[in-house]
Chain A
Amino acid sequence: MDLHIERRLHLATDRHGVVGRRDFLHGLSAAAVAGGSLGWTDLLSTRAADLRRQGMACILLWMPGGPSQFETLDPKPGHDNGGETKAIDTAVSGIRIADNLPKLATMMKQVALLRSLSTKEGNHQRASYLMHTSNVPLASLHHPTMGSVVTKQVRQSDCELPAFVRIGNAFANTSNGGFLGTEYDAFAVVDPSRPPENVAIGTSPERFERRLAIVGKLEQAAGKVTERERDHDKLYANAARMIRSPQMKAYDLAQESDQMRSRYGKTAFGNACLLARRLVEAGVTFVEAALPNWDTHQDNFDRHRSLCGQLDQPYAALLGDLYERGLLERTLVVWMGEFGRTPRINPRGGRDHYPKAFSAALAGAGIRGGQVVGATDASGEEVKDRPYTEKDLFQTIYKCLKVDATREYISPIGRPIKVVDGGQAIQPLLG
């Protein structure tokens, strides 16, 4: 533990991640340091806030297409709108979810269900953007996505891997670093069962080092090493540091036992969830894994059974595994799509888009599990009592992750933009 803290101290952070220990000391009162009045505990408390923040991580399980709340977290078996979906008991008495998710039901002590989400966007593109940025899309400004905001504020300084990772290729309209810049874009991993693209050096390590060295020598010989060349060199040094890092092992699922791989299921989404856990364990701050195709305008019930079959085991395994490793305390796991689906079942046995009343699930990082927050009426058409908007949800997520949602960033045309413009953290979830 002490060693761990010492290492963190050694790597005091700035906005790019790492500055030297000297720079950190520089920021303290010179007199205090010179007079020796600054003790070890002072040093610790100076950094305590940062240390607390730096451990936080988030895994967002993104369900593009818009899952039906009736077939997942908010079944209505007694009502016509509920269709053929039944409800089952969970590990928490009194909480019942759809029979499509039996394994998730066993994890209910860790999970809080939010059944009163309500937004105004029923179009896939606009709603996907909204649920990733808490803003409607604008031509004039690209808002940073959740993972970019979180990594900008709370990335771990001693992690040599990209801090924000997206697994899969179903991230249309979910934004990226936006006006924060490409350095906050997600690092894309298309197939979790293979290493990320372009991290394997195609030559021997000796030749790779030789090549890096000759780049520097040639640039020196060209006689124009400016700020730009130095930035370029830094970038290459960071990229090389990453691919040489022992932490890259996190991307290798083969390091896991067969038992563990079976626990998650050797499916695309199972692999994605297992990789997400390995990355968080290695110090990655934000991982997003997508399970697409929830847009069930027809054959809603069969398709939800199949989709939930792909979701249930990996999701439950992820929660259980994080919990057993003590990682759930510092890792927020969010499950959501861009909207819910209509209470009324259409003539093709489908459900259409419904942003007015839908559900999400949260676990870990200060979320009080084993409870349901908010409710819909018997028909599922209206939120009872108070609806929570996307902004309330973002305030809650950022509060859990110790991200300052009141901070303002400046857009390229000089306009101050709040991290979340409005809303309030949903207190009952935080318990």
Chain B
Amino acid sequence: MLLKTCCGATNEPPASTAAGPDSLSARVDRTLADEVFAKRTDVKLAPTTGDEAFLRRATLDLVGELPTPSEITLFALDPSPDKRARLVDRLLADPRYGRNWARYWRDVIMYRRVEDRALIAARPLEQYLADQFNRNVGWDNVARDLIEAKGNVAEEGPTALLLAQGVDPNDVASETSRIFLGIQIQCAQCHDHPTDRWKREQFHEFAAFFPRVGIRQIFQNGQTRGFEIVSTDNAPLYRGAGGQGRGAREHYMPDLKNPTAQGKLMTPVFFATGQRLKTGVTDDERRGQLGDWLTARGDGWFAKALVNRLWSELVGEAFCEPVDDLGPERACSAPHTLDLLAKEFAAHGYDLKWLLRTITATAAYQRESRPRRLPDQVPFAANCAQRLRSDQVYDNLLAVVGSMSGQANVGSGGPLERLTAAPRARFGLLFGYDPSVPRNEVSGSIPQALALMNSPALAAAINGTKRELPLGKLLASTTDDEQAIVDLYLRTLAREPTDKELTVAKDYVHSVSSRAEAFEDLLWALINQTEFLLRN
């Protein structure tokens, strides 16, 4: 198969972060101040966050894990004025950066799957994306790969988006628009969009880019060996009404009054620009052309959708919420700021690392965090604390307690059961959430609390007597309780305890006769605190 990225340009990191991004970051802050803060009399901006909190925040945001105790110490001791920017550069060069964001986008795609067999492609997708992000391939090239994907779904990661929608042209069109453009065009599938200008016809013209995407079993030596995404340029013109349109040559808009009839033949037209193809053209031409039109610099949706998402992940609140519903007729809390960032992002060749550098250097990003604001309060006056994603919690736990082997066996099952049986995947079933859902709607659950309190694997790893485990090693390395408590805080919450916390913890250790037992309880308590699941 052809992947554009093999010949796509990679964006080299600039030699210095001093000039470009800094000045743009400052302009972003000024624009935000002009259009949001200047109009209100009740603005109480949170102060710039301290180094310790910045380090934890940036490390979680960019590489998905906590900083280590030595990283915390070194960062605190570093006197240089540009150490935050240099930290961001270092984190963006870390291979964990690509993996962290690959998992984010894997979740964006997989949480909307209509078929669980799409999980086959989850791992290849993650590997593909991690590689693109680490090489800093432009976001436009990634989008094109996903739209144009073909081949064995167990090997070609980009096929995941199509597979997740069972290659149904309507569903693929909906997701392509939602993910890459932030437009919920699917509301117009059955009727004209109730709140936006999109017409039903426009939805089906867009779906007409995808009727020739097919899925078929791979046969080898008379046995089936998985699935592949193919072009069905020789398929029948029409495959019947309803959800049965997969693998046809053309897309038809159903007649709502007569749902079993063939409906109306649709010409592929890109609703955002009006650019069109003729019916009868090949699958390669349809998807290839759409990839070019969708990622072109003109209309701005493509850049805005990405900027809105990344801003939301980093600053804690999107310009437009939910992150995948930009309109056009939606309330946006800072439209000029969004426009400015989107325009520059496109001008920089959709360079993701550039965008992350720019946002992390803004005052908006670097403010102290507060709980989510009430609707009538000023947006962006503080960074907003976010729930960590499942992979982040899992990796933080691993770092704190060492390994978590000995997970209960879920027994034998089909390939699907095996895919979801790995410890990380099972953890994801409990702690995962759809990253496109507004964060105030993501709530904790009883099974989560039970897992953190009682999971036998975790309980076995919280052991103060075994020297091969992190806690046992720590207790063996020092007899100074205060030092051990500080170390536990650094490892689990990536910060030093406050004086009060230190006092409570020391009193606790003295109240329990066994030192190992006391520290096991403290570690358990830190893991079971609200803060452990949050990025502040």
Q: How far is the CA of A41 from the CA of B501 in the complex (A)?
A: 53
Q: How far is the CA of A49 from the CA of B133 in the complex (A)?
A: 57
Question: Is there an interface contact between A201 and B171, defined as CB atoms closer than 8 Å?
Answer: no
Q: Would you call A217 an interface residue if the criterion is a C-beta within 8 Å of the partner chain's C-beta atoms? A: yes
Question: Is there an interface contact between B417 and A221, defined as CB atoms closer than 8 Å?
Answer: no
Question: Is there an interface contact between A242 and B371, defined as CB atoms closer than 8 Å?
Answer: no
- Select one of A120, A139, A201, A203 contacting B114, CB under 8 A: A139
**Residue in B111, B437, B445 with the greatest tally of chain A CB atoms within 10 Å:** B445
Q: Would you call B428 an interface residue if the criterion is a C-beta within 8 Å of the partner chain's C-beta atoms? A: no
Q: Would you call B441 an interface residue if the criterion is a C-beta within 8 Å of the partner chain's C-beta atoms? A: yes
Residues of A within 8 A of B445 (CB): 182-183, 185, 235
Question: Is there an interface contact between B114 and A181, defined as CB atoms closer than 8 Å?
Answer: no
Residues of A within 8 A of B456 (CB): 198, 200, 202
- Select one of B115, B521, B529 contacting A210, CB under 8 A: B521
Q: How far is the CA of A138 from the CA of B173 in the complex (A)?
A: 12
Question: Is there an interface contact between A214 and B453, defined as CB atoms closer than 8 Å?
Answer: no
With CB as the reference atom, state the residue of chain B lying closest to A219: B529
With CB as the reference atom, state the residue of chain B lying closest to A227: B371
* Residues 179-215 of A at the B interface (beta carbon under 8 Å): 181-183, 185, 187-188, 190-191, 197-203, 207, 210-211, 214-215
Residues of B within 8 A of A229 (CB): 530
Residues of B within 8 A of A267 (CB): none
- Select one of A139, A170, A203, A222 contacting B112, CB under 8 A: A139
* Residues 387-430 of A at the B interface (beta carbon under 8 Å): 412-413, 415
Q: Would you call A99 an interface residue if the criterion is a C-beta within 8 Å of the partner chain's C-beta atoms? A: no
Q: A139-B178, A231-B444 known; A211 and B525 CB under 8 Å?
A: yes
Q: A187-B447, A202-B454 known; A223 and B498 CB under 8 Å?
A: yes
Question: Is there an interface contact between A201 and B454, defined as CB atoms closer than 8 Å?
Answer: yes
Q: Would you call A46 an interface residue if the criterion is a C-beta within 8 Å of the partner chain's C-beta atoms? A: no
- Select one of A138, A223, A238 contacting B446, CB under 8 A: A238
Question: What are the interface flags for B503-514 relative to A under an 8 Å C-beta threshold, 1 for contact and 0 otherwise?
Answer: 111001000100
Question: Is there an interface contact between A222 and B531, defined as CB atoms closer than 8 Å?
Answer: yes
Question: Is there an interface contact between A239 and B115, defined as CB atoms closer than 8 Å?
Answer: no
Residues of A within 8 A of B522 (CB): 214
Question: Is there an interface contact between B450 and A197, defined as CB atoms closer than 8 Å?
Answer: yes
Instruction: Output the least CB separation between B426 and chain A (Å).
Output: 9
Q: Would you call A136 an interface residue if the criterion is a C-beta within 8 Å of the partner chain's C-beta atoms? A: yes
Question: Is there an interface contact between A125 and B450, defined as CB atoms closer than 8 Å?
Answer: no
Question: Is there an interface contact between A214 and B114, defined as CB atoms closer than 8 Å?
Answer: no
Q: Would you call A169 an interface residue if the criterion is a C-beta within 8 Å of the partner chain's C-beta atoms? A: yes
Residues of A within 8 A of B476 (CB): none
Question: Is there an interface contact between A173 and B115, defined as CB atoms closer than 8 Å?
Answer: yes
Residues of B within 8 A of A183 (CB): 443, 445
- Select one of B447, B459, B517 contacting A202, CB under 8 A: B459
Q: Would you call A297 an interface residue if the criterion is a C-beta within 8 Å of the partner chain's C-beta atoms? A: no
Q: How far is the CA of A226 from the CA of B243 in the complex (A)?
A: 47
Question: Which of B1-9, B228-236, B357-365, B407-415 forms part of the interface with chain A?
Answer: B407-415
Residues of A within 8 A of B529 (CB): 215, 218-219, 222, 232
Question: What are the interface flags for A94-129 relative to B under an 8 Å C-beta threshold, 1 for contact and 0 otherwise?
Answer: 000000000000000000000000001101011001
Q: Would you call A348 an interface residue if the criterion is a C-beta within 8 Å of the partner chain's C-beta atoms? A: no
Q: How far is the CA of A238 from the CA of B450 in the complex (A)?
A: 10
* Residues 82-126 of B at the A interface (beta carbon under 8 Å): 111-117
* Residues 125-161 of A at the B interface (beta carbon under 8 Å): 125-126, 129, 136-140, 142
Question: Is there an interface contact between A182 and B498, defined as CB atoms closer than 8 Å?
Answer: no
Question: Is there an interface contact between B114 and A239, defined as CB atoms closer than 8 Å?
Answer: no
Question: Is there an interface contact between A169 and B322, defined as CB atoms closer than 8 Å?
Answer: no
Residues of A within 8 A of B114 (CB): 125-126, 129, 137-139
Residues of B within 8 A of A185 (CB): 445, 447
- Select one of B410, B417, B450, B530 contacting A232, CB under 8 A: B530
Q: A140-B178, A190-B410 known; A214 and B525 CB under 8 Å?
A: yes
Q: Would you call A162 an interface residue if the criterion is a C-beta within 8 Å of the partner chain's C-beta atoms? A: yes
Residues of B within 8 A of A32 (CB): none
Question: What are the interface flags for B144-156 relative to A under an 8 Å C-beta threshold, 1 for contact and 0 otherwise?
Answer: 0000000000000
Residues of B within 8 A of A123 (CB): 166
Q: A125-B117, A198-B447 known; A412 and B441 CB under 8 Å?
A: yes
Question: Is there an interface contact between B112 and A169, defined as CB atoms closer than 8 Å?
Answer: no
Question: Is there an interface contact between B410 and A140, defined as CB atoms closer than 8 Å?
Answer: no
Residues of A within 8 A of B455 (CB): 197-198
Q: How far is the CA of A199 from the CA of B243 in the complex (A)?
A: 43
Residues of A within 8 A of B242 (CB): 120
Question: What are the interface flags for B412-427 relative to A under an 8 Å C-beta threshold, 1 for contact and 0 otherwise?
Answer: 0100110000000000
Residues of B within 8 A of A139 (CB): 112-114, 164-165, 171, 174-175, 178, 186
- Select one of B174, B411, B416 contacting A191, CB under 8 A: B411
Question: Is there an interface contact between B453 and A172, defined as CB atoms closer than 8 Å?
Answer: no
Question: Is there an interface contact between A232 and B444, defined as CB atoms closer than 8 Å?
Answer: yes
Q: Would you call B449 an interface residue if the criterion is a C-beta within 8 Å of the partner chain's C-beta atoms? A: yes
Q: How far is the CA of A173 from the CA of B447 in the complex (A)?
A: 20
Residues of A within 8 A of B508 (CB): 214, 217
Q: Would you call B46 an interface residue if the criterion is a C-beta within 8 Å of the partner chain's C-beta atoms? A: no
Q: Would you call A228 an interface residue if the criterion is a C-beta within 8 Å of the partner chain's C-beta atoms? A: yes
Q: How far is the CA of A140 from the CA of B436 in the complex (A)?
A: 10
Q: Would you call B438 an interface residue if the criterion is a C-beta within 8 Å of the partner chain's C-beta atoms? A: yes
Q: Would you call B399 an interface residue if the criterion is a C-beta within 8 Å of the partner chain's C-beta atoms? A: no
Question: Is there an interface contact between A126 and B243, defined as CB atoms closer than 8 Å?
Answer: yes
Question: Is there an interface contact between A169 and B115, defined as CB atoms closer than 8 Å?
Answer: no
Q: A182-B445, A242-B446 known; A121 and B504 CB under 8 Å?
A: no
Q: How far is the CA of A190 from the CA of B175 in the complex (A)?
A: 33
Q: A222-B501, A229-B530 known; A235 and B525 CB under 8 Å?
A: no
Q: Would you call A243 an interface residue if the criterion is a C-beta within 8 Å of the partner chain's C-beta atoms? A: yes
With CB as the reference atom, state the residue of chain B lying closest to A216: B525
With CB as the reference atom, state the residue of chain B lying closest to A140: B186
* Residues 455-513 of B at the A interface (beta carbon under 8 Å): 455-456, 459, 498, 500-501, 503-505, 508, 512
Question: Is there an interface contact between B243 and A215, defined as CB atoms closer than 8 Å?
Answer: no
Q: A169-B413, A214-B522, A223-B500 known; A138 and B171 CB under 8 Å?
A: yes
Instruction: Output the least CB separation between B247 and chain A (Å).
Output: 13
Residues of A within 8 A of B501 (CB): 218, 221-222
Question: Is there an interface contact between B441 and A137, defined as CB atoms closer than 8 Å?
Answer: no
Q: A228-B530, A232-B530, A413-B184 known; A198 and B444 CB under 8 Å?
A: no
Question: Is there an interface contact between A218 and B526, defined as CB atoms closer than 8 Å?
Answer: yes
Instruction: Output the least CB separation between A337 and chain B (Å).
Output: 16
Q: How far is the CA of A121 from the CA of B449 in the complex (A)?
A: 38
Instruction: Output the least CB separation between B314 and chain A (Å).
Output: 19
Q: Would you call B265 an interface residue if the criterion is a C-beta within 8 Å of the partner chain's C-beta atoms? A: no
9 contacts between A and B (CB under 8 A): A126-B114, A126-B243, A169-B417, A183-B445, A198-B455, A215-B528, A235-B446, A235-B449, A240-B453
Given A173-B116, A181-B443; 19 other pairs, CB 8 A cutoff: A120-B242, A129-B114, A140-B112, A170-B413, A202-B456, A202-B459, A214-B504, A215-B528, A218-B501, A218-B526, A219-B529, A221-B503, A221-B504, A223-B500, A229-B530, A235-B444, A243-B450, A412-B437, A415-B187
- Give B contacts to A, CB under 8 Å: 111-117, 164-166, 171, 174-175, 178, 184, 186-187, 242-243, 322, 325, 371, 385, 408, 410-411, 413, 416-417, 433-434, 437-438, 441-451, 453-456, 459, 498, 500-501, 503-505, 508, 512, 517, 521-522, 524-526, 528-531, 533-534
| 9 closest Cβ pairs, A-B complex | A137-B114, A202-B459, A239-B449, A221-B500, A125-B115, A198-B450, A232-B530, A198-B454, A172-B116
